[in-house]
Structure 1
Amino acid sequence: MNRKDVLLEQFLCCQKKSHWFVSFEKAVAGLTPEQANWKKSDSENSIWELISHLVFWNERFLYRFKNKVIPKMEGNNDSTFTYLSESKWEQVLERFNVVMFDWIETIKNSEDEKFDQRISEESKETWLESLSSITLHNAYHIGQIVTIRKMQGSWSKEQGVS
């Protein structure tokens, strides 16, 4: 297995292939908009906000990877948790899925040398390092989604992770 295959496997596990952890697809299966907006307290993020955050950063780095213009960031990282607040629940899910499938296709079609390139002139980080961090970031927040569902009682151990 080469490094491109490893990255593809990481993105697939985050998106739809439950392996060592529950995939996004499984983590949000059957979730209603009301459940997605639920918060135990105001100091925590809802599932909807977590997905908005994931879309924001995955999309931004995908644009950079594809050498597309990246929109100027308004606000700070905290504001990314409300990025898709005006969208409908189905649109939020679709947006995440589109970005993730785009990542998978883009990585599949990339030349191996791309992974050795720095992500920007200002950064010492390579695309290989950055993409590995992106999948870890995705997995972390997917775990939060499962935890929130457990707290609200909308998770069944048959979905994985007891």
Structure 2
Amino acid sequence: MDRKEVILEQFLLTHNTNGWFVSFQSAAAGLTDKQALWKGEKSENSILEILSHLVFWNERYLNRFKGIPIPEMEGDNDSTFTNVLDWTEAVERFNCVMTDWYNAVRECEDTKLNQPVNPDTNHPWIETLTSITLHNAYHIGQIVTIRKMQGSWDKEQGVS
């Protein structure tokens, strides 16, 4: 398996294929709007806020990867959790951006993975793509934890 195949597998595992951890598709399966908005006393963010954050960062980096200009960021990382989307829209946009990521990486030249993310950094795309998939997996784990706290998790989805 070459490095591009590893990244592609990571995108699948965080999107719609269960592996060592559940994918977003499994983590979000059957969630209602009310459950997506729920915050427990120990929860800093709701599932919807987490998903809105993931949509923001994945779309932003995907556009950069495709060479599409991205606007100056308004606010900070915390604001990406508070600019909340509608639950259905958030799920659709996340599914779309994850499919687009998979296709963009699959279709890119291998040399793209060595190129810097932007002119101001030496970080190549291969490192950034790995960080993006790890970031997605981290937040998907939070979604499962919140579902367990609210009692809406079905362990048949892959995690007891």
CA distance in 2, matches of 1:130, 1:88: 28
TM-score using structure 2 length: 0.97
The one of 142, 145, 156 aligned to 1:144: 142
CA distance in 2, matches of 1:146, 1:69: 34
Superposed CA RMSD = 1.1
Q: Mark the runs of 5 or more structure 2 residues left unpaired by the alignment.
A: none
| TM superposition outliers: structure 1 runs of 4+ over 4 Å | none
Q: What corresponds to 2:74 in structure 1? A: 74
Q: Mark the runs of 5 or more structure 1 residues left unpaired by the alignment.
A: none
The one of 127, 130, 149 aligned to 1:129: 127
Letter in 2 for 1:13: L
The one of 81, 89, 100 aligned to 1:102: 100
The Cα offsets for residues 7-57 of structure 1, whole Å up to 9 and x where unpaired, read as 000000000000000000000000000000000138610000000000000
Percent identity, please. Answer: 61
Q: CA deviation at 1:156?
A: 1.4
Number of matched pairs: 160
Change (3 A) 1:142 1:116: same
